[in-house]
Chain A
C-alpha cells in the first residue's frame, strides 16, 4: 500500500485544484495494481473493481489522506473528521472500498453521465448509441446509415432504437460491451474518436433498467455468412457484469450491423436542445452519414448523405511531451517497460528521438541510464521542467481529422437554409497538454429567415411558409402562425394597411404582397436582436447542454464581434441572423465532466477557436460591407435583363436574325460585362491573399470561386464565402 500512497501523492500534486476543470487522465484514474500498461489491451475485465481513490480523483475532489466517513464519494458530507479517527479505521475502510462497484457508484450519480432528467436521459441514450454506431462504421470503413426511432410508450416511457450498418459485434463481446461499464476499445488509446470512456451505452442500458426494469435488447450480425444474435441483457450492478436474460439466434434481413433497443423513462422536448436538433447537427458534423429518424411524434426526418467519402481514419498516437502534465508523466514513466529513462521517453512519447531524450535528461540532470520505475519525485519534476525547454517537432497532424472547410459549409448550408453567406475555416492542428487538436469554424449569416413562400397564387396565401386559413379574418389567421403574438399581428397589419377584420380569402394580390413584406421587416428586426445560434461539435459530436461552461462559448463571447460589423451586447453572444458552428477535434477532448457536454477552458484551445472565429468573421465583415454593393450590382444586371428581350427582338427584325439566338448572345455579353465590372475587386483579393497550405485532412477542394471573400491577412487558404 505504501507505493500506492506515494503514487497518489504525486498524482494530487499534479492535479489542478478542485473546481477547476481537469483534463481526463484515463490511466491515472485506476488503481495501479489493476493497471495493464499496454494501452492496447482490448479485453480487460478488471475495470469492475474501481478504487475510491480513483473515482474521487476522477471528479476532481480533494483526497483527504485517509478518506471521509463511509468512504463513498457519494457521501461526501462528512469530510472534516479529525485526523486521528480515520487513521484508526483506515484499513476497515479499505476493505469496504473494494466492495463498491463502479456500476453502483454510477447508479447513484447518474447526473455525471447525463441522466439527471428524463429529457436528458433520452438525449444521452440516443447520443451514446449513435456515437458508438458512427465510430464502429468508420473503424470498419463503412459509410454509416443509421436508423433512429423513438417509440412513445405509456407511463412516460419510450423505447430508443438505434440501428446501424456497422461491422457488427461478435457474440461473446455483446454482453460485455453493452452491460459492463468502462468496457470498450476506446478507453485505452490516444486517438480521435467520439466515445472515450466506454461508459456511455452501458450506462444508458443501466438507466433504462433502473427506471423500467426492462432489459436492453441487442441484435447484431457480423456478416451474411454469420447468424444474427439477439440478446436481452440486464446488468448486475454489484459486480458490473452482464446478466444474460436471452441469448438466441434470430432471422435478420440486415447483412451486417447492430441494433440496440433500450426502454427507459424519458421525456421528449422540442427546441434547441431537442433530439431533432441533435440529429440534424450530427448530420452536419458527419456529412458522410445518412440518418433516418422517426421522432416520438411519429414524424419522419431524413438527413441525406452529403459526402460519399469516409473521413480519413485518424491515427493512433502516443502523447506528445509538450504540454504533458506532471501526473501523466509520472504515470507513463512508472509504467514504462523500458529499463532506461531515455528509452522510456522515446517510446512512450511521440516525436522524441534519442537525441531529444538525451537533451531532456541532460537538462534535468538525470542520467539517461536511470531506471524510469525508480526515479524519485524530484527527478521526475526536473524532467517535467526540462521538457518545455527542448525543441520538439509538433505531434503528427494525422492524428486529428477535420471535417474540412467545404464539407462544413455544405453541411451547414443544408441545415441552415436560406442564409446569404456561408464561410468556414479549418485551422492547422496545434497541441494542448501533448494532445494534438484542431479547430474548425463555419458561419452562416443573413438571408431570408425562412422567407415567405411566394406562391403567387392568391388562393394559397402563405406567410413564413404556413398557409393561412381562408375562412378566418386576417388577424386571427396570422395569430395561428407559430411565434405570432397579438402585438406582432397588429404591427404587421398596421404596416401593410390591411383591416384586421378582412377575410383571408378576400385579400387582394397586392395586399398579400404588402403583408409579406411587413412580416419580412418584422422578422428581420426580430432576428437582429436574437442571439446567434451556436453549434458546438467535439469530435463530430454535437454538444447541446452546458452552453455557458464551454470553451467554445467563451471564445465566441470573448471576441469583439462589433469590430466585424455584428451586434453584440457586452460580454454576450453576438446577435443577428447568425449561426456559428465550431468543431473541436482532438485525440482527447478535455470535457468538463463525464457527461461530455462542454470543452474545458485550455488557453491553447481558446486561442485556436478565437483565431478560427476571427478568420471567418473577417470574411463576414468584408461580405457585410460589400453586401450593399453586391445588391446594387445584381439590380443593375437585372435592369439590363429586363430590356434584353425587346432589344433582341428588334435587332432580329432589322437584320432578319433569330430573336432567341440574339437574346442568348446579349445575355452572354452581359455576363462578360458583369464579370468585368466585378473584376478589379477580385484581382485585389487574390493579390492580398497569402497562400499557405492548410492541413486538409479529407482532401476537400479549395477551388471554389469565392468572389465574396475579402480578408487579405489570413494565414490559411480559404474556400468559402459563396453567396447563395
Chain B
C-alpha cells in the first residue's frame, strides 16, 4: 500500500510539473498562458439523476496571469502548488491552516500573498480540481471538526478507540478518515444519527440516547466537513447503517442535508465518494410544529436572506422532488423557521424521549 501511495505522489508531482511547464512555455512565447481550472459553480454542477448525486460538469475556467483580476490568484495557485510539492517531497502531511502560513508572506507595499485562510482555501480547491487530486493526496488535511459517540470501536492510526467510552466530549472526527488511517473494528449500531448542533448532541449524549437506541451519534457543528461526510459514507457503505439527519428547520439546515445526500456544488468532484443518496431527513420538518404541538413563541420569523436562500434551494434540480418542494413551501408560507432547540419548549429531554423515538419508529423521514 505504501508503494501505491508513493506512486500516487509521483503521479501528482508529475501533474504539477506539467502544469508549470505548460505555463513556462506560454511565457517563453511571450503569451499569456492559461491554467485551465474546472469550474466549481452551480452552472457547472450536473445532477446525476440516475445515481442521485451532484457531479461536476466539464466546464473549464481560464486563469491567466496578465489580467488585473486574476494575476494574484494565478500567482497564488502556483504558490500553493509549490507548498504541496514540498509536502510530497518530504512525505509529510499538514493542515490547510499550516499551508496558509507556509505560503503567506509579504509582497511590496505591505501586501500579503494571502490575507487569511479563507483566501488560500479556495485556491487549494482550485488546485485539487485542476490536478485531479484529492486534498489528502496533496498531503493536506483540514482541522478536526465534528465529534462522535456510539456503539463502535475503531482503529485510528493503530490506536483502538472505543466510541462507547468517550465521556462528554466524544471522539473528534479527523479530517482524513480513509482506510489507511481508520479501520472499523467492531460495530454494533443500527443506524447513524448526524446533527448540526453540538448542543443537541450533548443533550442526547447525556441522556445516553445512543445506548438506548443502539446507534452512533455525530455532530458536525454546522455544515459538514469532508471528514464527517467521509466517515458517514464509510459507515453507510461498509456497515450498511442508515443515516438519519437532524438539522434546523431553515434553508441552511435543508442545505446541510442536501450536501450529505447529493454532494456540494463546490466539491462536486468529491460527490462520488462522499454523497449518501439514501440519507434520511429526520427533522426538523416544517410540519413538525403542528405534529409535535410546538408553541408558536419558539418560532423565528424568516428574514430576507432566508427567503432568498430558500428560493435558490427550491430551484436546485435535486430539490425538485415534490415532498421537498412541499417542505420548503410550508416553511415559506408559515414565514417562520425553527431551531432544533425549540423542541426543549416541550421539556428538556423531549427530543431524546419523545421526538426522536417517535420519528424513527414511525419512519417519519424524507429520503
Contact B68 A647 (CB under 8 A): no
- Please state if A672 and B75 are interface contacts (CB–CB under 8 Å): no
Nearest CB on B from A219, distance (A)? 61
Q: Chain A residues with Cβ under 8 A from B184's Cβ? A: none
Complex partner residue of B20 from A642, A643, A655, CB under 8 angstroms = A655
**For B24, what are the chain A residues with a Cβ–Cβ distance below 8 Å?**
651, 655, 657, 662, 665
**In whole Å, how far is B79's beta carbon from the nearest beta carbon of chain A?**
5
- Cβ-defined contact, B21 with A655, below 8 A: yes
Interface residues of A in 644-675 (CB under 8 A from B): 646-647, 649-651, 653-655, 657, 662, 665-666, 668-670, 672-673
Cα distance A643–B74 in the bound complex, in angstroms: 9
B113 CB–A CB distance under 8 Å = yes
**Contact across chains for A642 and B108 when beta carbons are under 8 A apart:** yes
**Which residues of the partner chain A approach B30 to less than 8 Å between Cβ atoms?**
668-669, 672-673
Judged by a CB distance under 8 angstroms, whether B85 is at the interface is yes
Q: Is B316 an interface residue (CB 8 A)?
A: no
What is the bound-complex CA distance between A662 and B25, given in angstroms?
Answer: 10
B68 and A654 within 8 A (CB): no
Tally of A-B residue pairs with Cβ under 8 A? 73
Q: What band does the interface of chain A fall in when counting residues whose beta carbon is under 8 Å from B?
A: 20 to 34
Q: How far is it, in angstroms, between the C-alpha of A207 and the C-alpha of B28 when the chains are bound?
A: 73
- Cβ–Cβ contact A650 & B66, under 8 A: no
* Interface: A640 (CB within 8 A): yes
Per the 8 Å Cβ criterion, residues 1-38 of B in contact with A are: 16-17, 19-21, 23-24, 26-28, 30-32
Q: Evaluate whether A673 and B113 lie within 8 angstroms (CB atoms) in the complex, with A646-B75, A655-B20 already known.
A: no
CB pair B20–A654 under 8 Å, yes or no, is yes
**Closest Cβ neighbor of A674 among chain B residues:** B66
Chain A contacts of B71 at CB under 8 A? 639-640, 643
Residue among B16, B32, B65 with max Cβ neighbours from chain A (10 Å): B65
A637 (CB) vs chain B CBs: closest residue: B66
Q: Is the CB of B74 within 8 A of A639?
A: no
User: Is there an interface contact between A640 and B66, defined as CB atoms closer than 8 Å?
Assistant: yes
A626 interface residue, CB < 8 Å from B? no
* CB–CB B68/A650 < 8 A: no
The interface bits of chain B over 68-105 (1 if a CB of A lies within 8 angstroms of the residue's CB, else 0) are 10011011001101100110000000000000000000
With beta carbons under 8 angstroms apart, the residue of B26, B28, B72, B109 that contacts A643 is B72
Q: With a CB–CB cut-off of 8 A, which chain A residues contact B75?
A: 643, 646-647, 650
Q: Which of A640, A642, A643, A673 has the most CB of B within 10 A?
A: A643
Give the distance to chain B from A647, nearest Cβ to Cβ, in Å: 4
Cβ < 8 Å to A, chain B residues 287-330: none
Central interface residue in B20, B23, B66, B79, by most chain A CB within 10 Å: B66
Asked if B107 and A654 sit within 8 Å, CB to CB, the answer is no
Nearest B residue (CB) for A657: B24
Asked if A642 and B82 sit within 8 Å, CB to CB, the answer is no
**Chain A residue at minimal CB-CB distance from B113:** A646
Q: Are A669 and B31 in contact (CB under 8 A)?
A: yes
Residues of A within 8 A of B159 (CB): none
- Least CB separation from A656: chain B residue: B17
B111 at interface (Cβ–Cβ under 8 A)?
yes
User: Could you tell me the distance between the alpha carbons of A649 and B76 in the complex, rounded to whole angstroms?
Assistant: 12
Contact B113 A669 (CB under 8 A): no
A665 to chain B: which residues have CB within 8 Å? 24, 27-28
Q: CA separation between A646 and B113, bound complex, in Å?
A: 9
Question: Which residues of B are found within 8 Å of A654, using beta-carbon distances?
Answer: 16-17, 19-20, 78, 81-82, 85
Judge whether A636 is part of the interface by a CB distance below 8 angstroms. yes
Known A643-B75, A654-B81, A655-B24: A673·B17 in contact at CB below 8 Å: no
Task: Determine if A642 and B85 form an interchain contact, defined as CB atoms under 8 angstroms apart.
Answer: no
Closest chain-B Cβ to A483's Cβ sits at a distance in Å of 31
Q: Which of B32, B78, B108 has the most CB of A within 10 A?
A: B78
**Chain B proximity of A432: nearest CB distance (Å):** 54
Q: Determine which of A640, A653, A655 lies in contact with B65 in the assembled complex, contact meaning CB atoms within 8 Å.
A: A640
CB-based contact B111/A650 at 8 Å: no
**Which residues of B are interface residues toward A (Cβ below 8 A)?**
16-17, 19-21, 23-24, 26-28, 30-32, 65-66, 68, 71-72, 74-75, 78-79, 81-82, 85-86, 107-109, 111, 113
15 A–B contacts, CB within 8 A, in A order: A639-B68, A640-B65, A643-B107, A647-B75, A647-B79, A650-B79, A654-B19, A654-B78, A655-B17, A657-B24, A662-B24, A665-B28, A672-B30, A673-B30, A673-B32
List 7 tightest A-B contacts by C-beta distance, closest first. A650-B78, A654-B20, A672-B30, A643-B75, A650-B82, A647-B75, A673-B66
Please give the residue numbers on chain A whose beta carbons come within 8 Å of chain B beta carbons, in ascending order.
Answer: 636, 639-640, 642-643, 646-647, 649-651, 653-655, 657, 662, 665-666, 668-670, 672-673
Given contacts A643-B107, A651-B20, A657-B24, 9 further A-B contacts (CB under 8 A): A636-B68, A640-B66, A643-B74, A650-B20, A650-B75, A653-B82, A655-B20, A655-B24, A669-B32
